[in-house]
């Protein structure tokens, strides 16, 4: 399947595109903001992920002859189809860096260009960025609770939502996982791949010990034995110990064992003792079975002797939030700021082309984000976006702009960043976030506010629109 086609969009984008085209407005410049409103998992932040793939798509997207024939069959105007034959994205993208932490309501990406182009690419951008940011955020929570000394292996491909498994492996790595079992993700993104064995392999033998021996013989340098097929404490671990000793005689070392059922705290502690008593303290203990950040937290509280957590389903499907609610909203058209009116202030967008400044304290920890108009300096104070009486003074000397131009006239401005670079940046960025925003229970809400210029513009446009509508 070729996903670089501009048909990877919602019909209404093309319907609006045709209307703009037939009214001669298709070249009019528009700006859209990408932002989200609510953090998933009750998290205090979102880890932004997916930008490289989005830029890659924007550079390649086009309609093939077959795509255009299909649109013709669907009844689109022939003139519009002719226009689409040369379609490419020629706009400007400003973005927060991939691997940066982002907060509700602050623009993460702004897309400026001919309105039809900006509109057609909306669906893919949301599809790509919402999903990957969701999974990277989940992964970062699992890393946070596991601690730096644990190895995290992503096992999710088999239970991922179709082809999204590839993006999930990438996002998991950026969020802090060490390896993936997804071989295609390993090749595509240069992520280290690791794996153990399935129950089927043990079941295929008449006895567990021979299965272990054969695997160790054929994988002398990367052998992890699955010990729970029959009886973990009475058969799996004793057989693994026998094989580990046989490997030692050949100058090899068993890397580890994997527990995949039962009480993982109890079994891991019992396994650790049995291995240590056998002089095999180097053999690591891996555990899997519907893990997530909450089970891992519980296992840590129980002092489980687990070195490696294998996490699949709950990570790659973003359990228990199926989607990040990221949206893409028009904020400027024909050089005029645009607003959508809603009874609910939270559903109104912030008009105009914008910049977001992040403020730090003297210890280098981030403390607030202020949204202001593009071209303005970092403000020295901000207002709460929905409760304007709440104000906060800010020190512009300790502010950094978050939105940087990453694409101009449809071409990226810097080379592709490797997932390793992005993952390293994520570690650094999460390190700048104070602990109170990372805790799982009632994380402290990070402050995002508006400069007085944006506030005034929103209030002005709001009264103008309400006046026009007679309300
Ligand atoms: N000590 C523990 N503390 C908290 N959660 C645990 C502990 N041990 C295992 N779990 C989690 O409890 C759940 C147990 O799942 P389940 O009831 O299916 O048991 P099981 O042992 O996997 O059974 P099965 O043999 O059918 O696979 C899993 O999500 C697992 O990660
Ligand atoms: O629980 P997850 O977090 O999704 O981790 C991945 C799971 O996938 C495998 O089980 P599966 O039953 O599919 O195959 P198996 O026969 O190898 O156990 C593996 O043993 C894990 O239990
Ligand atoms: O390598 C493993 O142990 C593995 C891979 C995929 C799913 N579950 C486990």
Averaged over 58-69, what is the pLDDT?
98
Residues with CB under 6 A from ligand 1: 261-265, 289-291, 295, 298-299, 302
Whether a cis peptide bond, with omega within 30° of 0, leads into 320 is: yes
CA-nearest residue, atom 5 of ligand 3: 155
Confidence of residue 344 (pLDDT cuts 50, 70, 90): confident
pLDDT above 90 for 20: yes
**What is the C-alpha to C-alpha distance for residues 296 and 48, in angstroms, rounded to an integer?**
23
Mean pLDDT over the full length of the chain: 97
> 138-316: CATH homologous superfamily?
Aldolase class I (3.20.20.70)
Confirm whether the ipTM is greater than 0.90: yes
Ligand nearest to the CA of 298: 1
Confidence of residue 348 (pLDDT cuts 50, 70, 90): confident
Residues 270-282: pLDDT tens digits? Answer: 999 999 999 999 9
**Is 332 in contact with 339 (CB distance < 8 Å)?**
no
**Helices marked H in 325-371:** none
pLDDT of residue 343: 82
Measuring CA to CA, which residue among 356, 337, 344 is closest to residue 107? 356
Measuring CA to CA, which residue among 438, 419, 417, 418 is closest to residue 177? 419
Q: Can you state the percent helix, strand and coil of the chain, rounding each to 5?
A: 40, 20, 40
SS3 category, 399: strand
For ligand 3, the distance from its centroid to the CA atom of residue 158, given in whole angstroms, is 9
> 11-135+322-469: CATH homologous superfamily?
nicotinate phosphoribosyltransferase (3.20.140.10)
Domain residue ranges in the chain? 11-135+322-469, 138-316
For ligand 3, the distance from its centroid to the CA atom of residue 312, given in whole angstroms, is 8
**Is 71 in contact with 85 (CB distance < 8 Å)?**
no
Please report how the helices 293-301 and 264-277 are oriented relative to each other, as an axis angle in degrees rounded to 10. 50
For ligand 3, the distance from its centroid to the CA atom of residue 421, given in whole angstroms, is 26
Please tell me whether the overall predicted TM-score, pTM, comes out greater than 0.95 for this model.
Answer: yes
pLDDT above 90 for 468: no
Atom of ligand 1 nearest to the CA of 263: 8
Averaged over 35-51, what is the pLDDT?
98
pLDDT above 60 for 471: no
pLDDT of residue 469: 66
**Is 34 in contact with 108 (CB distance < 8 Å)?**
yes
For ligand 2, the distance from its centroid to the CA atom of residue 198, given in whole angstroms, is 8
Find how far residue 334's CA is from the centre of its chain: 33
Residues with CB under 6 A from ligand 2: 155, 158-159, 198-200, 260, 288-291, 310-314
Atom of ligand 3 nearest to the CA of 195: 1
pLDDT above 60 for 113: yes
From 310, 317, 318, give the residue whose CB has the most ligand 2 atoms within 8 Å, as the site to mutate.
310
Longest dimension (CA), the chain: 88
Cα-Cα-Cα-Cα dihedral of 300, 305, 310, 315, to 10°? 0
Residues with CB under 6 A from ligand 3: 155, 181, 195-196, 258, 288, 310, 312
From 202, 288, 315, give the residue whose CB has the most ligand 3 atoms within 8 Å, as the site to mutate.
288
């Amino acid at each position: 399947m070729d996903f670089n086609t501009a048909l990877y969009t919602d019909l209404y984008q093309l319907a609006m595109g045709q209307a703009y085209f037939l009214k001669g407005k298709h070249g009019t410049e528009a700006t859209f903001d990408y932002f989200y409103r609510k953090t998933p998992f009750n998290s205090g932040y979102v880890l932004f992920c997916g930008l490289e793939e989005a830029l890659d798509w924007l550079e390649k997207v086009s309609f093939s002859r077959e795509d255009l024939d299909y649109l013709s069959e669907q009844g689109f105007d022939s003139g519009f189809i002719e226009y689409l034959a040369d379609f490419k994205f020629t706009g400007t993208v400003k973005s927060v860096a991939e691997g940066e932490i982002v907060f509700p309501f602050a623009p993460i990406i702004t897309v400026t260009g001919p309105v039809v182009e900006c509109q057609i690419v909306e669906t893919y951008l949301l599809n790509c960025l919402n999903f990957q940011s969701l999974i990277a955020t989940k992964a970062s929570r699992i890393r946070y609770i596991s601690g730096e000394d644990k190895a995290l292996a992503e096992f999710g491909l088999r239970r991922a939502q179709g082809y999204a498994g590839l993006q999930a492996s990438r996002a998991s790595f950026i969020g802090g996982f060490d390896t993936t079992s997804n071989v295609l993700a390993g090749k595509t993104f240069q992520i280290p791949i690791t794996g153990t064995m399935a129950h089927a392999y043990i079941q295929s033998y008449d006895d567990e010990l021979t299965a272990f021996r054969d695997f160790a013989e054929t994988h002398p340098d990367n052998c992890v034995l699955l010990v729970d097929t029959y009886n973990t404490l009475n058969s799996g671990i004793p057989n693994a110990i026998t094989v580990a000793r046989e490997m030692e005689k050949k100058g090899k070392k068993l890397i580890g064992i994997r527990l995949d059922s039962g009480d993982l705290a109890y079994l891991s502690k019992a396994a650790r003792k049995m291995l240590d008593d056998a002089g095999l303290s180097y053999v690591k203990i891996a555990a899997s079975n519907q893990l997530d950040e909450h089970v891992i937290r519980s296992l840590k509280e129980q002092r489980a002797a687990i070195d490696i957590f294998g996490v699949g389903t709950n990570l790659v499907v973003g359990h228990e939030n199926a989607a990040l609610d990221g949206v893409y909203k028009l904020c400027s058209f024909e050089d005029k700021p645009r607003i959508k009116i809603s009874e609910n202030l939270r559903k109104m967008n912030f008009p105009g082309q914008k910049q977001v400044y992040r403020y730090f304290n003297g210890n280098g920890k981030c403390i607030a984000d202020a949204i202001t108009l593009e071209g303005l300096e970092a403000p020295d104070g901000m207002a709460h976006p929905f409760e304007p009486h709440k104000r906060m003074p800010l020190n512009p000397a300790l502010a950094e702009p978050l939105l940087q131009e990453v694409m101009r006239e449809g071409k990226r401005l810097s080379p592709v960043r490797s997932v390793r670079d992005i993952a390293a940046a994520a570690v650094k960025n999460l390190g700048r976030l104070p602990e109170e925003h990372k805790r799982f229970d009632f994380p402290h809400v990070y402050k995002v506010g508006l400069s007085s210029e944006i506030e005034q513009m929103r209030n002005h446009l709001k009264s103008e629109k309400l006046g026009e509508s007679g309300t």
